[in-house]
Structure 1
Amino acid sequence: MKFPAPVALAQAVPQLPTGQGWWFEPKFDGHRMVLWRQDDGIRLQSRSGRDVTDAWMDLARAARDLPAVTVLDGEAIVYVSGAVDFGAAQARAASNPLRAVKLAAQWPASFAAWDILVHPELGDVRSRPYETRRALLLGVLQELGPPLQAVPATDDRATALLWYEALRPQGVEGLVAKHASSPYRAGRIWKKLRHADTVDAEVVGYTGRPSRPRALAVRLPDGRTALSQPVSAQIAAQAAAQLTGSPPVRRAQTDTGAVYEAVEPGLLVEVLAGTTRHSVVTVTRLR
């Protein structure tokens, strides 16, 4: 398997699926990460495929304890005062190496692993069913401890709904449902139920400069393209880190005719669900 690996995603749903064969995992509020333990070192991959090792060196050091040639999928999270803090994880992801070292000393990161893509003995296991991969993941991590841990999982829907309510104060933002027989592949193959009244949208462009975007053009779940309200300085800086490396492809227009600089899709943001009925949406954060 070549770096970077295309990642599986989850589609937002209003309720958990019912029926046989479903497994449920808590959805931690952090930064998506694929952890590569290779023969010649460690590489950490973001959701978009960027190498983010320098920002998460504490996790890279912990990953040395994994067997060589292991690739795990999961979430980089940061606990502050006993709860998962997305803002702290976001600050780490946007840091330069020197700043990341200081943040790691204050709030060390953890890696919540939920899947295994490459097994040290079996090789690429993405085509195997979720239940099989889950067992392999637990086997690889059984001799390790924090900060590398497997997320909890249950095939009991009632237990999952209890988690959904009980774990919210700890920073768990919802649940992800995965079918026992499903292989791992790119695309929205899982289901997610979230507390937040937001939806995911794909960034397809921006207004302003790539180093300081004023607004983001997003493709909404229903296929419409809309321009966001002016984004905050923090969101603009985080978006700029990725947009600067993605020069505009062309000029384009939203469904209402607003002009923006188009870029290749790949960056995902959350927008307030209540604003998606309108031509201008509100971006709450990057995913």
Structure 2
Amino acid sequence: MRGLGPLAPPVRVALAETVGVLPREAGLAYEPKFDGHRMVVFRTGGVRGREGGVVLQARSGRIVTGAFPDLAAAARRLPEGTVLDGEVVVWREGRIDFAAVQGRAAATPGRAPLLAERLPASYAAFDLLGVGGEDLRSLRYSVRREGLVGLLGGLGPPIQPVPMTTDPELAATWFETLPGIGVEGLVVKRLDQPYRPGVRAWRKLRHTDTQEAAVVGFTGPAERPVSLVVVLPDDDTPVVSSPLPPALRAGAGAVLRGRPTGGEATAMAVGLGDVAYREVEPGLLAEVATGTTRHTVTTVLRLRGPEGDPPGRGPVG
């Protein structure tokens, strides 16, 4: 793609390994972890189609430009040859709304402009992978960070750099106070670290081992689903949960019967490979427990409504 050289989409993104305590050794940088959808922004050379020289790529490599026309328009203000890594979030009533950003990501091109007006997206950029067509991934994080702030400092919303500190005490304060706005943890990077695609060279610290995931489908009958298919924060690849216990199957069935269903698709199930599932309308959340690697088992603990509260009179199961 003209103007991007080796950084033409799709590119593999850097990943993070979960840790249980805040790292405090010398030479570290700390950033808030926004639970949204990972996205790489490419400002290509020239104008291509309605998006006008912009390509938006999800973590999986899927091109999602059409789902985010507001961010595509904002990215046209970037210099040609710019490539950013970051997180898409939607703010509602002062908090990050993961169900809303999942709804945005699943929007068809025809519906996307309306959702962009109702649920405008923001882009929290945390890395500068390229500028002017030059690949910066081999440079130190500190150099890339300086370039990121310099590039975006005068741009303004909706594309902005995430906050960063090298002070572990300030990072600890962020960790304790930011959950109030939906920021559930920190990402920790070495200042001398290059950007390593596909490698868990960063570290992430979360408050709990559980997180909210967006329910995008189910396997088995709608009345008593065998498993739920969910999308986790910082990802866009649907995964199949472990089999639901009997009480949760009954409760999930009661909720799913009241939601519109779509067509069939496939998702990855640990130990089984790709399995077929029935899609459901976005907006339903599940509290899930996951392991520390991408393809460990995902266990559904309970369902939540579109606003994050348990549907009905209490938690399902």
- Give the TM interval when normalised to the shorter protein: 0.7 to 0.9
**Greater share of strand:** 1
2:278 pairs with 1:272: no
* Residues 253 and 140 (structure 1), Cα distance of their counterparts in 2 relative to 1, 3 Å cut: closer
Write the deviation string for residues 253-279 of structure 1: whole angstroms up to 9, x where unpaired. Answer: 84xxxxx3547xxxxx984159xxxx9
Q: Which amino acid aligns with 1:133?
A: R
- How many angstroms apart in 2 are the aligned matches of 1:173 and 1:238? 31
Contact 2:289 2:298 in 1 (8 A): no
- Matches of residues 77-156 of structure 1 in structure 2 within 5 Å? 77-120=89-132, 123-156=134-167
Q: Which amino acid aligns with 2:289?
A: L
Please, what TM-score do these two structures have when normalized by structure 2? 0.69
Query: 3-state SS of the aligned residue for 2:110?
Result: helix
Contact 2:34 2:89 in 1 (8 A): yes
Please, what TM-score do these two structures have when normalized by structure 1? 0.75
Contact 2:186 2:206 in 1 (8 A): yes
Q: Which runs of 5+ in 2 are unaligned?
A: 1-6, 47-52, 231-239, 276-285, 292-296, 304-317
Give the structure 2 partner of residue 28 of structure 1: 34
Give the structure 1 partner of residue 18 of structure 2: 12
Choose from 86, 103, 109 the match for 1:74. 86
Write the deviation string for residues 214-264 of structure 1: whole angstroms up to 9, x where unpaired. Answer: 53799xxxxxx9834268859x999988x54x7x9xxx984xxxxx3547x
Q: Which runs of 4+ in 1 moved over 6 A?
A: 236-241
Choose from 263, 282, 286 the match for 2:300. 282
Give the structure 2 partner of residue 194 of structure 1: 206
Q: Which amino acid aligns with 1:160?
A: A
Give the structure 1 partner of residue 315 of structure 2: none
Give the structure 1 partner of residue 308 of structure 2: none
Contact 2:227 2:241 in 1 (8 A): no
- Matches of residues 217-232 of structure 1 in structure 2 within 5 Å? 227-229=242-244
2:170 pairs with 1:159: yes
Write the deviation string for residues 92-128 of structure 1: whole angstroms up to 9, x where unpaired. Answer: 111112322222111211100000111126x000011
Write the deviation string for residues 69-110 of structure 1: whole angstroms up to 9, x where unpaired. Answer: 110000011110111111111111111123222221112111
Contact 1:72 1:117 in 2 (8 A): yes
Q: Which amino acid aligns with 2:186?
A: L
- Root-mean-square deviation over aligned CA pairs: 3.5
* Residues 138 and 240 (structure 1), Cα distance of their counterparts in 2 relative to 1, 3 Å cut: farther
Contact 1:94 1:238 in 2 (8 A): no
- How many angstroms apart in 2 are the aligned matches of 1:196 and 1:237? 32
Write the deviation string for residues 188-208 of structure 1: whole angstroms up to 9, x where unpaired. Answer: 11111112432799xxxx965
Query: 3-state SS of the aligned residue for 2:113?
Result: helix
Contact 1:27 1:176 in 2 (8 A): yes
Give the structure 2 partner of residue 39 of structure 1: 45
Contact 2:184 2:206 in 1 (8 A): yes
- Matches of residues 205-224 of structure 1 in structure 2 within 5 Å? 215=227
Q: CA deviation at 1:139?
A: 1.4
Choose from 73, 76, 95 the match for 1:61. 73
Give the structure 2 partner of residue 222 of structure 1: none
Q: Which amino acid aligns with 2:178?
A: L
- How many angstroms apart in 1 are the aligned matches of 2:115 and 2:298? 35
* Residues 253 and 138 (structure 1), Cα distance of their counterparts in 2 relative to 1, 3 Å cut: closer
How many residue pairs are counted as aligned between the two chains? Answer: 250
* Residues 77 and 200 (structure 1), Cα distance of their counterparts in 2 relative to 1, 3 Å cut: closer
Q: Which amino acid aligns with 1:111?
A: Y
* Residues 12 and 200 (structure 1), Cα distance of their counterparts in 2 relative to 1, 3 Å cut: farther
Identity score, percent: 47
Query: 3-state SS of the aligned residue for 1:110?
Result: strand
Q: CA deviation at 1:280?
A: 8.3
* Residues 183 and 284 (structure 1), Cα distance of their counterparts in 2 relative to 1, 3 Å cut: farther
Contact 2:241 2:300 in 1 (8 A): no
Contact 2:226 2:243 in 1 (8 A): no
Q: Which runs of 5+ in 1 are unaligned?
A: 219-224, 255-259, 264-268
Q: Which amino acid aligns with 2:118?
A: Q
